[in-house]
Amino acid sequence: MSVELLMPRAGLTMVEGTIVTWKVEEGTQVKKGDSILEIENEKTTMDFECTADGYLHIVAKPGDVVAVGNVTAIVAETLEEYKTIAKSQPNAGNNEFEVDKEKVEKPQAKQVTSVTSSGHIKATGLAKKLAASAGIDIKKVEGTGPNGRIVAKDIDDYIKNMETVNAANTEVNAAQSETYGSPEIIPLTGVRRSIAKNMYESLQNMAQSSAAVEVDVTKLNDMRKILTEKKDFIGCKVTMNDLLAMATVKVLKKHPLANATFDGKEITTYPYVNLSVAVGAEAGLMVPVLKNADRMTLSQLSNNLKDLVERAKDGKLLNGEQSGGTFTISNVGIFPIDIATPIINPPQVAIMGFGRSVKKMVVVGDEPCIRTMMNLFVTFDHRVFDGLEVGRIMYDMKEYIENPELIMV
């Protein structure tokens, strides 16, 4: 009896996986527990172990995107059964991918139709139909009919003009390719594909708004220097990011509405802080989660955070280490970035970012002096927060940063 090998769900948010490589060939006799496949999901790359003994028939090929629960391969119990399956079961990976592409393309056609039939564009019914069929934004077409109405001929002329422009561009590109080489096409797959999808959906499904404030990090930087000098005594080298993370945890305990998730109907707050930390890795953005960060001392937080960040950069995070976060921080201070508008990591309701530290002239106690300043910025879901609560959160964060001794209380 044959056994289907299905795309596993590695984490609550996983909906699909990409076939990276098969470690065994078609028709190979495999055993239960053999590592036969490498899969990439939105967060990491993982090995897939065979769940039965028999002969392997590969269904999904490398590069195919397979939905969770769909078939990646079939293991036949006998060689005769394998031959029968191989003849009757064509590769399904490409079929599944084609279905996914249709799902992506159909909403685009609907969007054009809704725009062209909104009543704000003067166009004949046939012109609207032709524009929708050709995927043309009818607002870009110049009408030559009565009172500037767009007629069918205008759509035909627009298509012909675009074909001429495209042909000319093709000739130019061909000439450039001969001189300078061909353009490189980079498929958006695996982690980067999932990041793009999640970020787009985050912006589409939330009422995201941002706020920022400049804070004085002179004292915080002084504290970091003192702790660095005592690294042998305390057992770790405390970084600015560690102190900012600790301050964030303190603020979240005072503002449970920020330490929450929202499914569109209900807000869930948590009695613990699982701090997600954005990490830029070569494979794409990784967001490991420091579980129970509110129950850690500064040295514990520092050591655990360093371990997570290093393994995230090396692509060695374990399953579950990027899930369960209740709030996210993103420190772009190592780059020449003063301020940014980070995108919320759903279903969380806010994300906090930190810019670079810069020495500048400021006024303290009515006297000009040089201080080290940094921008603190927050993106929040306005369905959950109003400006009053965000102001209070930023006020408290500013207090902790400018009076770092409070972080230790």
Unique residue bearing structure tokens 């106690």: 365
Q: Is 382 a catalytic residue?
A: yes
Question: By the 8 A CB rule, do 55 and 28 touch?
Answer: yes
197-202, long-range: CB < 8 A, 24+ apart = 197/42, 198/42, 198/345, 198/346, 199/343, 201/346, 202/343, 202/344, 202/345, 202/346
Strands 350-364 and 71-76: unpaired
The one-character DSSP state at 17 is E
Unique residue bearing structure tokens 């009695």: 271
Handedness of CA 401, 406, 407, 408 (dihedral sign): positive
- Spatial separation of the C-alpha atoms in residues 220 and 204, rounded to whole Å: 37
Q: Please state the φ and ψ torsions of residue 373, each to the nearest 5 degrees.
A: -115, 155
Strands 267-269 and 260-262: antiparallel
Handedness of CA 212, 217, 220, 221 (dihedral sign): positive
Q: 334 Cβ partners below 8 Å, 6+ apart?
A: 356
**CA separation, residue 78 to residues 32, 53, 90, 222, 256 (Å):** 14, 9, 19, 70, 58
- DSSP secondary structure, 51-115, as one string: -S-EEEEE-SPTT-EEETTSEEEEEESSHHHHHHHHHH----HHHHHHHHHHHHHHHHHHHHHHH
Question: By the 8 A CB rule, do 190 and 18 touch?
Answer: yes
Unique residue bearing structure tokens 């397979």: 66
Q: What count of other Cβ atoms lies within 10 Å of the Cβ of residue 31? A: 11
Handedness of CA 394, 399, 402, 404 (dihedral sign): negative
- Spatial separation of the C-alpha atoms in residues 201 and 349, rounded to whole Å: 14
- Active-site positions read 382
